[in-house]
Chains A and B, each alone.
Chain A
Amino acid sequence: MLASLYRRVVHLHPPAFREKFGDEMSSIFEQAKGTPAEIRLLLDALVSLARQWGLRSEFWYAPDPAPVQPAPDGVPCFSSLDPFRPRSSAVIEGLLLSIALFCLTCFAIRYSWIHVLHVRIPEVQFERSTWRPESRPVAADFERMPIPTTLPNTSSTGLSRTNSTIEVPRQPVPAKANPRKHETPATADPAQSDSGQMDRPSNQVFQSAIQTPLALETFEGTYVVEHPRRITLVVAAENGNLTMSMEGQRKVQLIPSSSTKFTVSAMGDCWIDFMPGNNVAGNEPIRQLKFSCNGEQFIARKQSRLD
């Protein structure tokens, strides 16, 4: 058994060493068979195995004999390039480093499973825009838009109000017909009203792509901004259009973009949002306006006739 084990140990030596000295080592072991020296020889073979693979990398493989190619004139040519063999210490160090990296990767993966890493990503601040989301016309705004072109004459302003929000009653939808969420003013039936009679408001409704249910007279008035400085805005209805003028500024036209919001023509990112008051009786439905221009906002209160 020791002999077969010794032969296996010898067989594990590097190829060049095994081919050169393997038979002699086996012969020496056979001569010591049956003596206590067998164990010493076996231990010696094990030490030799470790030494050959660990410290004798230059003797692992026999050098390939360079092919001798005779030159045309008969002078032989020799090749001087040796096969590359890494140093044994480099191989061992690379092995240890690979094991360390592998263990580190496994640990990192396991750690990430157990502990959730909260990475705070700072919010990206875009340049402040005058187009505020709350003032953007949404589907609800379009739903509040008037369907009839004429309004029931319930007040001097021709407006029927149920709450602080300016709304116009919708047309009743037939049961069999498919309900529509939006109806263009052109398709609306102007004959529907509470009184059953068609009453035209005294003023002319502004005709544009977006119609405001309120009469332009509703927005007329003088609005005053108190802070940061006193600014007086005069809103007037002229020839079916709403205009605004400020002190020292030329008159500009207000183009409706929703029922109460108007963009200021020729002024870039400027718009005006008329805000209704709490008075539902129809007197002074617009109490103030919000004027926003180039990122700045001002609240202007409407001056009453007594002011």
Chain B
Amino acid sequence: MKDAVDQFLPLSPATLHILLSLAGDDLHGYAIMQEIARHSEGKYKVGPGTLYDNLQKLIQRKWVQELGHRPSDDDPRRRYYRLTSLGRGVLAAESTRLAGVVREARLRLQALTPRRS
């Protein structure tokens, strides 16, 4: 499974943020947009076109599952999406990769910083 996941790395920023948003709970499209804006602190925003374009690919790859409409929701046009186990594995692999990049970056930056006695 690791080989099947690694072939999709690195993920695009939009894909990463969408998977990250769905990692906590099942969300509809507008909620995904709001969650992305929240956890990126407003630095990364996606529009509906970009969102659903990526969702289309993620659904085809079976990283995201479409749940359809929730009867409890006010707007019948909203459709909810859920992160699949495969999608969760891809997100984990990407997180590990990014963590390694951050660790390496910190080590290099620490080496460059002059030490003060």
Contact = CB atoms under 8 A, between A and B. Distances in A.
Partners in one complex: yes
B47 A24 contact: no
Given A31-B30, A45-B47, 13 more contacts: A20-B52, A21-B48, A21-B55, A23-B77, A24-B29, A27-B30, A41-B48, A45-B48, A45-B49, A47-B47, A48-B50, A51-B53, A59-B60
**Main SS class of interface, A:** helix
A106 to B, nearest CB: 38
Interface of A: 17, 20-21, 23-29, 31, 40-41, 44-45, 47-49, 51-52, 56, 59
B97 to A, nearest CB: 26
Nearest to B46: A44
A24 B79 contact: yes
Nearest to B66: A20
B53 to A, nearest CB: 6
**Main SS class of interface, B:** helix
A41 to B, nearest CB: 6
B33 interface: yes
Contacts of A25: 29, 48-49, 52
Contacts of B29: 21, 24-25, 27-28
A41 B33 CA distance: 12
Interface residues of B, number: 17
B75 interface: yes
B82 interface: no
Contacts of B55: 21
A47 B78 contact: no
Contacts of B17: none
B50 A44 contact: yes
Given A24-B29, A24-B77, A48-B53, A29 B48 contact: yes
23 contacts: A20-B56, A23-B77, A24-B79, A25-B48, A27-B29, A27-B30, A27-B77, A27-B78, A28-B29, A28-B33, A31-B30, A41-B47, A44-B48, A44-B49, A44-B50, A45-B47, A47-B50, A48-B50, A51-B53, A56-B53, A56-B56, A59-B56, A59-B60
Contacts of B52: 17, 20-21, 24-25, 48
B49 A51 contact: yes
B56 A28 contact: no
B48 A24 contact: yes
Contacts of B48: 21, 24-25, 28-29, 41, 44-45, 48
